[in-house]
A and B are shown apart, each in its own frame.
Chain A
Amino acid sequence: MRVVIWGLLIFMLLLIVALPTVMLLGFGMLPGLVAMIVDRTEERSATFCVGGLNFCGVFPYLMDLWFGDHSLDQAITLLTDVFALAVMYGGACMGWMLYLSLPPVIASFIQVMSERRLQQLRKTQRQILDEWGDEVITDADLGGDGLMPPQPGEAGAGIPAPAE
């Protein structure tokens, strides 16, 4: 609750101090806002993806405000410029496209990598079985330490070495 109150206070302060900036951000970042509302995942990947590129499209015009005429008229002029809106929302669109197209590509890539890793692991296992025998499977399944029972001649088995 306290956060909300503080947020409202800051927002009110920003409205008083930088109304053009707030106005530009409010309208320009609408796709990002929508993405934030729509994205219910914990990671908020869609929000970051869409919001990030949306901000990338808004930022040049924000710079015009900050380093040019920081007035309400200028803000309205920018927001009514189709080209400016296309840039802002185009950035958001790029974000959405990135968000929607990259996971399948990455998944395919991971799939290929995994299969390659699987092949490597299976090859290693086959090499182990070739060298140490199938009993490795049993011992590995049993979760044993893989140690053999004491053999004659070892300490503990008690057979004296016949020659020195």
Chain B
Amino acid sequence: MAEQPIDADEINEPAPVRGGSVVIRERFLVNGDKPLPDLDSPNAKAFMAEDRHDLSRHLFALVCTPGIPLRNKAIRQFKANPGPGLLELIEYESVFWPIIGQRTMVIIYERPMGGRVLTQIRNNQARITEYDIPRKVIQPMVDGLRHIRSLNLAHRAVRPDNIYFVDEDLQEIVLGDCVTAPEGFDQPLMYEPLERALANPAGRGTGSTVDDMYALGASLVVLTLGGNPIERMKGEDLLFRRTNLGSYAAICGNARIPLSLLEPLRGLLSDIPTDRWGLDEISNWLNGLKQTPQQKKPARKGDTPLRFGGRDHTNVRTLAHAFNRQIPEAVRLLKDETFHAWLKRSLNEGNLSETLKGFVDTANFHKDDFQGTEEYLVARCCAAMDPYGPIRYKGISVYLDGFGPMLAMEIIRNGNYQVLTEIITREIYQFWVSDRANFLDSIEISQMFAQLKAWLANNDPGFGLERCLYELNPGLSCQSPHIIEDGIIEVEQLLPALDRAANHTDSHNKPMDRHVAAFVAARFSEDIHPHLRAIAATKESTAVIGMLSLLAFLQWKLKAEPVFGLASWVGGLLGPAINAYHSRTTRRELEKEIPKLVRRGSLPDLFDLIDNAEKRREDQDGYADAVEEYSACSNEISDIEGSGNEMQVKAEKTGQKTAATISIITTMIAVTIMFFSEIL
């Protein structure tokens, strides 16, 4: 069973650990007996690591929580392209981690010898003055973020407890790990831009440097003050406050922010993504160039509050957030004229009021289909009320670029993933995308979701919900019950994992279940549609041969090592495929041959044996001849047996004819002899 992921806001103390060590890539020893809780990430435990080739290197390992989608692309990119301002990712591998008794991804990082910056500040080991902030803190982080942007990635885990001193002298600062959980998943609400903070943690989305810049601003506040000024404010209260006051005012409040940092903090903590300072603006500021002052822009507030969901709302954004939690009440309010009067008079949102009324009318018109449901109406209204907000539907808030991790989390936690599939199948995303066409690539998103919808509509193995899951989460391990504990992320690891699974799995189950098929379809670059079609066949023999052909294709293409256990497992399931041959002799021959090939561990050979085209053609021809011969025999038997006394009559007639013939022949012979004896 996969370990449950931990939300960043729910961490209290590190989990207890037990001993055990592993070696990564035959070089890096990860010592499970030496945990480093100071370097833990919210969803990955830190352990001491050492380079066997260079014992002087300071390293540590992050052992990921199985089941949480990893940022695979980022892992590969960071390893291939180490950059300034970032903790160097040295190596990674999915290995069996004895402490949890299953395989998981282990990532080796350069060890930051100075520990967490925030911890050192709180322990008075380090002191960062307002004059140190630009060069000592902001500059390295900006370098790191710039490097990440050059890789077409975003960090999405910039927060004070993820910023480290890389040296023991506490001089050089780097950004910590960001690949052990989906983008933004580990971020407390305070460090996520308002629009993304409104989404569920897993659905906050890939984001971009724009989001990292906000997190940088929020982190700077905490590092500058040496603590979080709104530490006690959590969850909905924080969101409500940020929405009403604006993030800058909500976070900084009455804190004594150094004057020199006011300008960048206002720029970085802007709640309007387009107004937020980017890397260029912060670099210019670092270089002393004067920036256009960022005006404090609190959210539009109404004159009189509207009571809904136990809170007094003075803007539509908080209301949209609340609507998604209390749908029936929201619908009642949407149909209430006083609400529209409040929108017009208090918020001066006459156009929005008309738009919402239009949605209510449309819902009334579509009373009998899903567009007339309360959930759809509220989702439609929320999208209009909060143009920068996430998709809100049936209590779930998710960005389209966070759809994959959200789906993964809901499936892994056995949560409400049906709502997410409804967003796809009922095209709930369509109106959300069209409302945001000015800042979203609506065509690309529509194409992607149309593809997801097509996969969902197909219930065959290799498609369906599982296909969406793996396509949207390249870093998610295969969730097949056979190999879930192996934490398989790359398709190259699949056959060895199934080979191991053969030792402990019920061999009556097929190795190619829906998860494995979808995993291969999503991760394997070759065209496997013919194999999937065969696997989906209702005829068991075809399905079994399809499964074998796909596994054999994988072994052949990936040049995988012999898989003795898997070959034995598959060999035991080939009964229907063998029985597809009509000839009992051929069947016996195949049954005799299979154990020999199983001992070679070669699935292609096994496939060649079972689905030999020439052998199959011979079998077909032989069978056709047999049917014909059997039919001919039956006909002859029917002829012989005849019906009633037909045979007797026939025999008598034959006898009479024979008698006549004998008589005539005898006469002719006798007459001839007599005649010639007379004349000679």
Residues of A within 8 A of B (CB): 41, 43-53, 55-56, 59-60, 63, 67, 95, 98-99, 102-108, 110-111, 114, 117-118, 121-122, 124-125, 128-133, 135-137, 139-140, 143-149, 151-155, 157-163
Contacts and interface: CB of A to CB of B under 8 A. Distances in A.
A107 to B, nearest CB: 3
Nearest to B677: A63
Nearest to B533: A158
A51 B656 CA distance: 14
B659 A99 contact: yes
B653 A43 contact: yes
A132 B624 contact: no
Contacts of A95: 663
Given A106-B651, A153-B607, A162-B552, 5 more contacts: A43-B653, A106-B655, A121-B637, A131-B626, A136-B626
A102 B552 contact: no
17 contacts: A43-B656, A47-B660, A56-B670, A63-B678, A98-B663, A102-B662, A103-B655, A107-B654, A110-B650, A122-B637, A125-B634, A132-B622, A132-B623, A136-B627, A145-B627, A153-B611, A163-B605
A160 B659 contact: no
A131 B629 CA distance: 13
A147 B660 CA distance: 49
Contacts of A124: 629, 633
B664 interface: yes
User: Which 3 pairs across A and B sit closest by C-beta, in order of nearness?
Assistant: A103-B655, A107-B651, A146-B627
A117 B637 CA distance: 8
A157 B616 CA distance: 13
A148 B651 contact: no
A141 B612 CA distance: 29
Contacts of B675: 59, 63
Contact of B660 (A48, A143, A158): A48
B640 interface: yes
A162 B663 contact: no
Nearest to A44: B660
Contact of B607 (A139, A140, A157, A163): A163
Given A52-B663, A56-B671, A46 B580 contact: no
A119 B651 CA distance: 19
A110 B607 contact: no
Given A131-B585, A136-B623, A139-B627, A159 B634 contact: no
B545 A49 contact: no
B167 interface: no
Nearest to A67: B678
A49 B633 contact: no
B657 A153 contact: no
Contacts of B542: 151-152, 157
Given A125-B633, A133-B584, A159 B534 contact: yes
Contacts of B611: 151-153, 159
